[in-house]
Amino acid sequence: MGASLLRLHFHDCFVQGCDASILLDDTSSFTGEKTAGPNANSVRGYDVIDTIKSNVESLCPGVVSCADIVAVAARDSVVALGGLSWSVTLGRRDSTTASLSTANSDLPGPSSDLSGLISAFSNKGFTTKEMVALSGSHTIGQARCLFFRTRIYNETNIDSSFAKSVQANCPSAGGDSNLSPLDTTTPNTFDNAYFRNLQNKKGLFHSDQVLFNGGSTDTQVNSYVSNPASFRTDFANAMVKMGNLSPVTGSSGQIRTNCRKTN
């Protein structure tokens, strides 16, 4: 669940800023972000946010936004799995809108190449170094077969025994929703194993392995393998920056009573 909350925060902030827009359910007159390609059947944890929100509302109604809850839950989930903590600035308000089209266009996908990743993160104000650090969130969590099938059956820069082991749960046809850990070494621990996997050609997504494939980010991957503390620090700092992406503040937006719908 920790990975789900981290992904939820990332997929929220990269669209309209950290405004809980991803939490809004579709209605007869409104289409939100949940059915966007990068989100549908992929982003989870909505029910966890619902539970936290109802508990918070019963103690101090109308005070804590859904956006703040998502940001804090993402931080706490990383800490629970062994990652470094960071300070979460509070005071975000919730948007009353969402954008399916922006979710589809701005969120980098699992088939992205290195230049695509660099530009997607650069568009949100992140350096290439910060992009590599944030990619390290794939040290936890799982992915659907649909998103890595092409890599494990068709790509050559992949360890053959690793490809075979993943193919066992991801057939060449069917089983789109079968899951595999993004980090098969230590799937439930927030550590630097993800980067070591890349060195060994064991990145699950195409967009993972491009970080270590003879390109400009190879040295960054190597440094996170040899110095895990630097990864933890860089990741925490990049998460602070991400949590501050275009928040709704002041008199804008609202404090939703129910995170799934506007008041």
Q: Please, where in the chain does CATH 1.10.520.10 lie?
A: 2-107
Taking Cα atoms as reference points, which of 43, 67, 237, 214 lies closest to residue 136? 237
Mapping DSSP to helix (H, G, I), strand (E, B) and coil, where does residue 1 land?
Answer: coil
- Given this model, what pLDDT does residue 4 score? 87
Residue range 121-151, pLDDT digits in tens: 999 999 999 999 999 999 999 999 999 999 9
Mean pLDDT over the full length of the chain: 96
Q: Is the pLDDT of residue 2 over 80?
A: no
Mapped onto helix, strand or coil, the DSSP state of residue 248 is strand
- The class of domain 2-107 in CATH terms is mainly alpha
Report pTM.
0.95
Query: The domain 128-238 is classified under which CATH number: 2.30.30.60, 1.10.420.10, 1.20.120.1200, 3.40.50.970?
Result: 1.10.420.10
Give catalytic residue positions. 11
Instruction: Supply 26's token pair.
Output: 């579709």
Question: What is the rounded CA–CA span in Å between residue 186 and residue 70?
Answer: 25
The pLDDT tens digits of the residues spanning 209-249 come to 999 999 999 999 999 999 999 999 999 999 999 999 999 99
Strand partners for 144: 179
Helices (H), 177-261: 193-199, 206-209, 218-226, 228-243
Q: Which helix (H) or strand (E) holds 147?
A: helix 145-154
